[in-house]
Structure 1
Amino acid sequence: MRFENTGFETLLIEVDRLDEIMKEHGLIRAGQWDWERVTYDRKFEIREGTFYLRVFGYTDDGDIGAHDADVKLLTPLLGKHYYPHGVEYGEGEEFPDHLVQTCEKILAAVYEELSLITE
C-alpha cells in the first residue's frame, strides 16, 4: 500500500539527521542501506500478521555509509510479510484499518519534524 500525498517526496534531508528523526518515530535503518540507497522500517506484529511501514530514500551525490549524503525520500509503503517469501505491497493485500491509521499518524509526525529542518 502506498501512502500518497504525504509530502515525503518533496524532502531532501542530511542522512545523520534523518536517522535521528526516523529512529525517534520507530523507523530503523539498521543494515538496510548501500552507498546511494536507504530503507527505514517499522515492524508491526499484530493479530492480523506481520507488517512493515517502509520509507525509502536515495542520494544523487553522497555516500550513505560515510554519513555524507543528502537523502531524497520516496513515497512510504506498507507491506505484509509472508514467511519465507518476504514483504508484499500489492493492491490485492488487505491492511487493517487501525494499522493504516497508525501509520498515517506516524508519517504525519515524521513529515512535520522533517519539514521544520528543511525550511
Structure 2
Amino acid sequence: MKFTETGLEENQLKFSIVHYAAESLGFVHADQWDYERAMFDYKMVHHEGTFYLRVPVYSVKGDIPTPSTIVQIMSPIVGKHYYPHGVEYEGETFPQAIIDKCESKLSLLAKAVQNEL
C-alpha cells in the first residue's frame, strides 16, 4: 500500500536531515543503500503478522550515505512480511491499526523533517 500526500514527497533535502529525523522516530536505515537509493524501515508486529513501513529516498545530487547528499523523498509504502520470501506490497489487506500507525509515523516524520529545515 502506497501513502500519497504525506507532505514528505515534496522535499529535497540533505541525507543527514532525513537520516536523523527518521532514526529519531524509530526508523532503521540498516545500510540499505546503493549510492543512489536508500530505505528507512519501521517494523510493526501485529497479531496478523509483521509489517514494514518503508520510506524510500533517492539521490538528486551526491552519493548516499554522504551527509551532504541531496535526496528526494519518495512515496512511503507498507508491506507485509512473509517468511522466507520477503515483503509483499500489492494485493494485501492491512489491519486498520497498522494503517493508523503508519499515518501517525508519517505525520511525525513530516513534522520532524520540517523542523530540521
TM-score, scaled relative to structure 1: 0.92
Size of the aligned set, in residue pairs, is 117
| 8 Å Cα contact 1:39/1:56 also seen in 2 | yes
Q: CA deviation at 1:58?
A: 0.4
Aligned residue identity for 2:35: W
SS of the residue corresponding to residue 95 of structure 1 reads coil
CA distance in 2, matches of 1:112, 1:22: 11
CA distance in 2, matches of 1:54, 1:97: 17
SS of the residue corresponding to residue 50 of structure 1 reads strand
| 8 Å Cα contact 1:10/1:73 also seen in 2 | yes
Large movers: runs of 4+ above 6 Å: none
Unaligned runs of 5+ in 2: none
Match in the other structure for 1:113: 112
Alpha-carbon deviations, 1:18-54, whole Å to 9, x = none? 1111011111111111111110001112211010000
**Against the structure 1 CA distance between its residues 35 and 78, is the aligned structure 2 distance closer, same or farther, given a 3 Å change threshold?**
same
CA distance in 2, matches of 1:60, 1:15: 10
Where does 1:12-23 land on structure 2 (aligned, <5 Å)?
12-23=12-23
| 8 Å Cα contact 1:11/1:115 also seen in 2 | no
Q: CA deviation at 1:14?
A: 0.9
Aligned residue identity for 2:98: L
Match in the other structure for 1:64: 64
Match in the other structure for 1:50: 50
| 8 Å Cα contact 1:38/1:56 also seen in 2 | yes
| 8 Å Cα contact 2:80/2:92 also seen in 1 | yes
Match in the other structure for 2:101: 102
Aligned residue identity for 1:96: P
| Identity over aligned pairs, percent | 39
Aligned residue identity for 1:48: E
TM-score, scaled relative to structure 2: 0.93
Aligned residue identity for 1:7: G
